[in-house]
Amino acid sequence: MSTPPDVIRSAYAQLAVTDLAAARWFWVDMLGLHVQHAEADALYLRGTDELTHHSLVLRAGPVAALDHIAYRVRAPEDVERAERFFAGLGRPVRRVPAGTGTHGVGDAVRVVDPLGFTVEFFHGIARGERLIQRYDLHRGARIARLDHFNVCTPDIPAAYAHYRSLGFGCSETIEGDEHELYAAWMYRKQTVHDVAFTGGAGPRLHHIGMATHESHQVLHTADVFGSLGKQHHIERGPGRHGVSNAFYVYLRDPDGHRVEIYTSDYYTGDPDHETFRWNVHDDRRRDFWGNAVIESWYKEASPVLDLDGAVQPVSESVLDESSVRVGADGLGIVDGTKG
Ligand SMILES: [Fe+2]
C-alpha cells in the first residue's frame, strides 16, 4: 500500500439542494453562516473562526444529495499521495485542476473511497478575512467552524479500517458485548472527530457537524426556530451526548439534509490518547440524560453522488443499533432478548 496523504482536517462539504433560496434561508438567515461567495446556482459559506474560503458549498441540483466531502492535506505533494493511495486501492480517481472544480479550491483529487463516498483531497484554498472578532456580523447559531462529517455505512469495521489506514485516530466507539463495532468517532485534528460512522444503509450522509462556542447558542438556535413557527426543522435535542460529551441539537434543512450544532467536546492530541468504548446497552451513549433517539435520526440520511453526479446505490446494514432497546432497569435489550 502506498503512503497515505497527510490529512489535516475535515474541510468542507458540498451539498446539492433543490431550492437554493430555501437553502439560503436556512443556512444563512437562520444559522448565520457567512456568505463568502455567491453565484447564480451556488453559495460558498463559512463560520466566524474559519480563515479558509468555505466550509459548506450549497449547489442547486435536481436531487438533494451529498456531492462530496473534502479533507485538507498538509502539502501539495499530499494531493499526489492521495491520488496514488486510492488508485492503488483500485478506486475511481479523478484529478481536478485548480479553476475546474469547486470555486476557491486549488489543485485537488476526487476519489470514490472504499465506503462509496466521493471524497476530495486538496491543499490550496483561497483565504477569507478574519471574522472572529467581527461580533457585529455574528448571527443565528454563531457557527464558528465545520467540525465533522457523520456518514452512514453498512460495514463499520471496514470503515474503521479504511480510516485507520489514512492515519486517523479513534476517540470513541459504541460496541456490543462481543466488541462488535456499532459506531466509531475518528480524528486527524485534535478533537473527538473529523468523521464518524453511523450504522445503516449506505453510503449516505448522516449529518455535518458545525461547531459553536457556547452551549447557550445551541439553545438559542432552537428557541429561534420555535419563535418563527419553524420548529419542524428541529429533529432531535437539544441535549448532551454521551459520546464526545458535546452539547447538541440536530436540525433538518429544507431538503432534509441534517446538521448538528455542536459544542464542548475535548482535546485528543496526545499520542497515547486512548479510545473510550461505550457499550451499546448504555442508554447514555447517544444522549447522556437517557433521552430516546427518535427513529428518523437512525433511519433517514442524504443520498450521495458519484464522480459524475449520479446517485450511488446503497447497501443495507448488518448490525442495527436502532433495534437495541433499553429496559426499565437501564440494561439493553437486543432483538427482544435482554442484554
Ligand atoms: Fe455529529
CA distance 32 to 35: 9
CA distance 226 to 232: 8
Give 301-336 as a DSSP string: -EEBB-TTSPBPP-B--SS-GGGEEE-TTS-EEETT
Whole-number Å distance, alpha carbon 282 to ligand 1 midpoint, is 18
Query: Over 80: is that where the pLDDT of 328 sits?
Result: no
What single-letter amino acid sits at 117? F
Whole-number Å distance, alpha carbon 286 to ligand 1 midpoint, is 10
CA distance 239 to 215: 10
In whole angstroms, how large is the CA radius of gyration of the chain? 19
Domains of the chain: 7-128+140-299 (3.10.180.10)
Q: Cell for 140? A: 443565528
CA atoms within 13 A on the CB side of 251: 25
CA distance 16 to 6: 28
What mean pLDDT, rounded, does the chain reach?
A: 95
The pLDDT score that the predictor gives to residue 160 is: 98
Whole-number Å distance, alpha carbon 81 to ligand 1 midpoint, is 28
**Which pLDDT tens digit goes with each residue over 149-195?**
999 999 999 999 999 999 999 999 999 999 999 999 999 999 999 99
Whole-number Å distance, alpha carbon 140 to ligand 1 midpoint, is 19
Q: Cell for 22? A: 430555501
**Which pLDDT tens digit goes with each residue over 229-285?**
999 999 999 999 999 999 999 999 999 999 999 999 999 999 999 999 999 999 999
Whole-number Å distance, alpha carbon 292 to ligand 1 midpoint, is 16
Give 14-72 as a DSSP string: EEEES-HHHHHIIIIIIT--EEEEEETTEEEEE-TT--BS-SEEEEE-SS-EEEEEEEE
Bridge partners of 263, per DSSP, are: 247
Whole-number Å distance, alpha carbon 266 to ligand 1 midpoint, is 14
Whole-number Å distance, alpha carbon 162 to ligand 1 midpoint, is 19
pTM flag (> 0.85): yes
